[in-house]
Amino acid sequence: MTGPPDQTNIDYSALAQTIKSMGKSFGFNQVGISDIDLSEHEDYLQQWLDKQYHGDMEYMARHGMMRARPQELHPGTVRVISVRMDYLPEDAHFSAALSDDNKAYISRYALGRDYHKLIRKRLKQFGDAIQVHCESLNFRPFVDSAPVLERPLAAKAGLGWVGKHSLLLNEQAGSWFFLGELLVNIPLPTDVPVQEQCQSCTACMKICPTDAIVAPYVVDSRRCISYLTIELKDAIPEALRPMMGNRIYGCDDCQLVCPWNQYAVPTPETDFQIRNGLSDVNLLTLFAWNETTFQNNLAGSAIYRIGFERWLRNIAVALGNACYSAEIVAALKAKREGVSEMVKEHIDWAIAQQVEKSQSQTTNPNALTVKLIHATEKIMKQ
């Protein structure tokens, strides 16, 4: 990329307005522009890395301070065009999935098609369209795929403010949206950041099942269910497994409790709508999939990238956390053969959890529903 073009005849203020209007034609709900000075975030980033809060995401440490220096990622960059694309699907079935421990809970951003390719393609088209108005424009699109501090950049661009759960919040969309960036070499006028509006609210910190939000704006990824179910490639720490409940891919708890999300509206984007009934599906149904079924059903989904092994690992933990069921125990035992040692470890843990629950249920029947009492009595007689 070259430096800022010498085009004194370009009205960059008018171009900025054109860019923001143009963004809507590519499906972006909001467009903002920021400079590239993230120096105030470098100390925080280094401290976060020093505390090993990135866990096994070694790429976070490998790129170091480049995350706070866009011009190093793409030389010649002087501005960042940040975009917001809302993703909340219709009929997300939040309460139904979380209140029934036999159901699988999948983070709502992953119910449709993988956003990476969709937004990157739109950003490329967006950049090409801008180039029609400014031939010397040089740009590079990013969507959660490069060492960029996208939330601080989006906050500087006026798209929202960073909440205490570390996600970006917007008055109209809450936090149910994706972010993307165009790094550009033209000196567009920048937008004004919005004021943080979380005030004294700590609902997101209190609700986190694993206490991963260790301080306002600070998340220890090693405890975060999204990290455990998506990023972590090895065994999930045993102490954290019971806290995961039925969450098999990601976690939305900190978003669900946030007051600002009451203002979010469902997205019209068809690619973000629910596929394969994943918003309301039984754990045992998913656990019964073989690898071919997994690949066929989840091709084009963000879930696909964790692979079949971690998919089974996550579901096994959720089955261990479910109320005792002879059907669950049978399914776990049947799946135990032909899987990796890591998956087998989680299946064994789940079986042990189920056995423990069956024993506690027979000794404390007052804590059971009639249905569970009958089920327990039936299995104990066999």
Residue whose entry in the numeric block shows the structure tokens 């449709």: 112
- Helix H, strand E, coil C: the string for the chain is CCCCCCCCCCCHHHHHHHHHHHHHHCCCCEEEEECCCCHHHHHHHHHHHHCCCCCCCHHHHHCHHHHHCHHHHCCCCCEEEEEEEECCCCCCCHHHHHHCCCECEECHHHCCCCHHHHHHHHHHHHHHHHHHHCCCCCEEEECCCCCCCHHHHHHHCCCCEECCCCCEEECCCECCEEEEEEEECCCCCCCCCCCCCCCCCCHHHHHCCCCCEEECCEECHHHCHHHHHHHCCCCCCHHHHHHHCCEEECCCHHHHCCHHHHHCCCCCCHHHCCCCCCCCCEHHHHHCCCHHHHHHHHCCCHHHHHHHHHHHHHHHHHHHHCCCCHHHHHHHHHHCCCCCHHHHHHHHHHHHHHHHHHHHHHHCHHHCCHHHHHHHHHHHHC
Give the integer Cα–Cα distance in Å for 211 and 370: 34
Question: Which residues are marked as active site?
Answer: 144
